[in-house]
Amino acid sequence: MPITFEHVSHTYSEGTPYQYAALKDVNLDIQEGKITAVIGQTGSGKSTLVQHLNALLLPDEGEIHILDRVIKAGEKPKKLKSLRGDVGLVFQFPEYQLFEETVLKDVAFGPKNFGCSEEEAEEKARKALKLVDLPEDCYLKSPLELSGGQKRRTAIAGILAMDPKVLVLDEPTAGLDPAGTKAMMSLFYELNQKYGKTVLMVTHDMENVFAYCDDVAVVADGSILVHTNAQDFFRDSKLCRSMNILPPALIRMRDMLNEKGFDIPADVQDVDVLADYIAKQVKSHE
Amino acid sequence: MNNFTLGRYLPMDSPIHKMDPRAKIGAMLIALIAIFFPAGWIGYAVIFAVVACVIILSKLSWGFIWKAMKPMMFMLFFLLVINILVVKTGDEWLTLGSFTIYSNAVIQTLYIAVRLLLMIMITTCLTATTKPLDMTLGIEDLLKPFQKIGVPSHEIAMLISIALRFIPDLIDETERIMKAQESRGVDMKEGKLSERVMAILSLIVPLFVSAFQRAEDLANAMEARGYAPGEPRTRYKVLKMERRDYILLLGAVLLLACMIWLAYFR
C-alpha cells in the first residue's frame, strides 16, 4: 500500500498578514518498502511535507492516503494515535526531546504511550537501543550525560521502540561526524532491508542519497519538482546544481572527465565500473 | 501561538511611533496614576477621550485594542462573582432565596473593570508603538537617577531586552518539542491526570534544558566580544527629546491635574 498525496495544500497562519503557502497542490506516490530521499532548498516545504505523514499538520486541501488510513482536508482524522505509532517521525536534532531520568526510561516512553506495560516497554526499549548500537553501560545514565552522537542514537531509538511501519526522518545526520553519519545511514538501510520498513528521509547530503536511497523526490517552492528513482536522478547533475546542491563525488568526477574529453555514459554510478571505463579509454588513447 | 496581542509591537508610521520612548513611558506612568484618583465617571470619560485621541493618532485599529483586552474578560467575570458574594452594601437589587445581590457589588466591579480596561488601553498604546529595544533604552535612561542608590539600571535594561529577544525563539522551541513528543504518542490536549502530568513534563524538561543551553551560549558569545556589565558604554542609537515629546508629557501632567481637581476640589 503506497503512501499517496493527492492535491495537498498547506498554508501557515491563514488569514493573517503572515500568511504563507508552504505546500501547493502536492501530488506524490511513495512506494512501500523503499528508501525515499526528500531533497530541496531550505524553506521549500520539505519539513511541512513530512509532518503531514503522521498528521502533526493537516492538509488545508486535498487528501493523504497512508497505511489504509485517509487524512482529508477539513476532517478530524480518526485513529490519530495509532497512526502516530505506525508512522515514526524523527525530527531534526531529536536529542532535544530527551527528558527522562535514564536513557532506558526515555526510550520506553514511546511504547508506554501506546499502551505497552512497563515490562513490555522496557523490553522494546532494550531492543531498540541494541539496534542503534548504544553501549549497554549507558542505559542507566541520564540522557544529558551522553555525547552528542549517543544522544542522537537514544532519540532515534525512542522512535524505533514504537516499532513503526514507516520511518520518517528529518535530516537525521545533520551535525554528526562522518563515522556517525555512516553508522546512522547503515542503520536505516538495515531497517529497510532486514525489517522491510518504508523509510522517508529529508536530507541535504547527496552522498547519502547516492549510496543508500532508492527514490528521490525534489521539493521546490511547495511543489514536487521531480520524483524518480535515484539512478535516473543522478544521470544528469544539472538539477542538483541548479538547486545549489553538491552532487556526489563520483558524479562530479564523471562530469569533469566528460568535460575533458572522456566519454563515460550517464548510467555509470559505481566506482569500479568508472575505473574500468577510465582505464579502457586511457589505454585506447595511448 | 502567534495570535496573542497583549504587548506586541505593531510597526507603523505615526507621530506616536516616532516619539521618544522615555516620554512615552513617563506619560504612561502619569496616566496610570491619574486613573487611580476617585474622579468618578466624568473623570473616566475624560481619560477615555484622551486615550482615544492617542489611539487614533497612533493609527492602531480598535480591533487590535479589543483583542488586547479580551484575555482580561475572564478575570473581570471572576471579580464580579467574588464581589457579588462579598460586598453587602448599597441597595438590595435582587433576592434569590436567602441570597441578595447589592448594588454596590455591581458598581464596584464596574469601577474596577473600567480602570483595568483603561490601563490595558494605555499600556497597549505604549507597547504597540514602541520597539522592544527602544523601550529598554528608555527604561535604562529613566532608571539612571536611581543608580546612585544602587539600582543597576543598565543590567536591568539588558536583562529585559534579552528576555524579550528570546520569547519568539522559546515559542518556536515549545512548538517543536510539542510536535516531537506528540510523535511519540503524547496527547497534549486530553487524557488522564497522570498522563497529562507526564505530557507536561515531557515538554518542560527539554524546554528548560535548551533554555539553559541557549543562556550559556549567549553568555559566552557576549563575553567573547568583551561585554562587561557596569563598564561605561556608548550607544548606537542616541535618544533625543523633541517638542512633540514635551507636548505628550505636558498633556499627561494636565490630565493628572484634571483628575486631582475632579476628585478633590469640585
User: Residue A116: closest CA among chain B residues belongs to which residue?
Assistant: B185
Question: Does the pLDDT of residue A149 top 70, yes or no?
Answer: yes
Q: Give the cell for residue A213.
A: 536511497
Contact A13 B2 (CB under 8 A): yes
CB-nearest partner of B184 from A16, A51, A158:
A158
All three cell numbers of A15:
488569514
Count of domains forming chain B: 2
A3-230: CATH, from 3.20.20.70, 3.40.50.12780, 3.30.1950.10, 3.40.50.300: 3.40.50.300
How far A258 CA sits from the closest chain B CA (Å)?
46
Beta-bridge partners for A169: A90, A201
- Selecting from B176, B179, B184 the residue whose C-beta is nearest the C-beta of A113 gives B184
Question: Are B116 and B225 part of one and the same domain?
Answer: no
Chain A residue whose CA is closest to B213:
A96
Chain center to CA of A259: 33
For residue A64, the cross-strand partners are A5, A71
Name beta bridge partners: B102. Answer: B92
- Chain B hits for A95, CB-CB cut-off 8 Å, are none
More confident residue, B88 or A258: A258
A231, three cell numbers = 539512478
**Chain A: closest CA distance from residue B202 (Å):** 6
**Whole-number pLDDT of residue B153:** 86
**Burial state string for B181-200 with b = 16 or more CB within 10 A and e = fewer than 16:** bbbbbbbeeeeeeeeeebbe
Same domain, B193 and B98: no
A85 is written with which cell numbers? 505509532
B219 phi/psi in degrees, rounded to 5: -60, -45
pLDDT of residue A208: 92
Chain A residues with CB-CB distance to B206 below 8 A: 96-99
Helices (H), B130-192: 132-143, 153-183
Q: B238 with B215, same domain?
A: no
Read off the pLDDT of residues B139-187 as tens digits, 9 standing for 90 and up.
889 988 888 888 888 888 888 888 888 888 888 899 999 999 999 988 8
For residue B52, the model assigns a pLDDT of 93
Kindly state the average pLDDT of the residues A91-103: 90
Looking at the structure, do residues B98 and B44 belong to the same domain, yes or no?
yes
Interface touch B179/A91, C-beta < 8 Å: yes
Complex confidence, ipTM: 0.88
User: Same structural domain for residues B15 and B125?
Assistant: yes
CB distance B180–A109 less than 8 Å? no
The span from the CA of A150 to the CA of B187, in Å, is: 27
Contact A158 B205 (CB under 8 A): no
The answer on B7 and B120 residing in a single domain is yes
Cβ-based contacts of A16 with chain B (< 8 Å) = 2-3
pLDDT tens digits in sequence order for chain B, 266 residues long = 445 556 678 888 899 999 999 999 999 999 999 999 988 889 999 999 999 999 999 988 888 888 888 888 888 888 888 888 888 777 777 777 777 788 888 888 888 889 989 998 999 899 889 988 888 889 889 988 888 888 888 888 888 888 888 888 888 899 999 999 999 988 877 778 888 888 899 999 999 999 999 999 999 999 999 998 878 888 888 888 999 999 999 999 999 999 999 988 87
Q: For A279, which DSSP code? A: H
Name which of A56, A88, A96 is nearest B206 (Cβ-Cβ).
Answer: A96
C-alpha cell belonging to residue A272: 569500479
Judged by a CB distance cut-off of 8 A, whether residue B12 touches chain A is no
Instruction: Give backbone dihedrals phi and psi of A263, rounded to 5 degrees, phi first.
Output: -130, 85
Do A147 and A101 contact (CB within 8 A), yes or no?
no
Order of strands, sheet of A215-220, starting from the edge strand that comes earlier in the sequence: A87-90, A166-170, A198-202, A35-39, A215-220, A223-229
Q: What whole-number distance in Å separates Cα of residue A9 and Cα of residue A22?
A: 8
Q: At what angle do helices B103-129 and B40-57 cross, to 10 degrees?
A: 20
Contact B46, B257 (CB under 8 A): no
Task: Give the pLDDT of residue B1.
Answer: 42
A56-64 average pLDDT score: 92
Range of the domain at B246: 1-147+234-266
Q: Give me the pLDDT at residue A39, please.
A: 92
Closest residue of chain B to A159, computed from CA coordinates: B184
* Segment A210-236 mean pLDDT: 91
Q: Do B179 and A109 touch (CB under 8 A)?
A: no
* Closest residue in chain B to residue A158, using alpha carbons only: B184
Using CA atoms, how far apart are residues A208 and A173, in angstroms rounded to an integer? Answer: 9
Element (H, E) at B231: none
Nearest residue in chain A measured CA to CA from B195: A113
Q: What percent of chain B has pLDDT over 70?
A: 97
A and B: number of Cβ contacts within 8 A: 58
The answer to whether the Cβ–Cβ distance between B183 and A84 falls below 8 Å is: yes
Q: How far is B221 from chain A (nearest CA, A)?
A: 20
Pairing assessment for the beta strands A35-39 and A20-30 based on DSSP bridges: unpaired
- Contact state of B205 with A110 under an 8 Å Cβ cutoff: no
pLDDT of residue B144: 87
Residue whose C-alpha cell is 551522553: A146
Distance from CA of B3 to the nearest CA of A (A): 9
Cα-to-chain-centroid distance, residue B112: 17
Q: Grid coordinates standing for A252?
A: 562530479
Min distance A113 CA to chain B CA atoms (Å): 5
Shortest CB distance from B206 goes to which of A18, A98, A159?
A: A98
Task: Yes or no: say if A73 and A60 are a contact pair by the CB < 8 Å rule.
Answer: yes
Chain B residues whose beta carbon lies within 8 Å of the beta carbon of residue A88? 183
B18 and A CB contact within 8 Å: no
Name which of A85, A96, A114 is nearest B177 (Cβ-Cβ).
Answer: A96
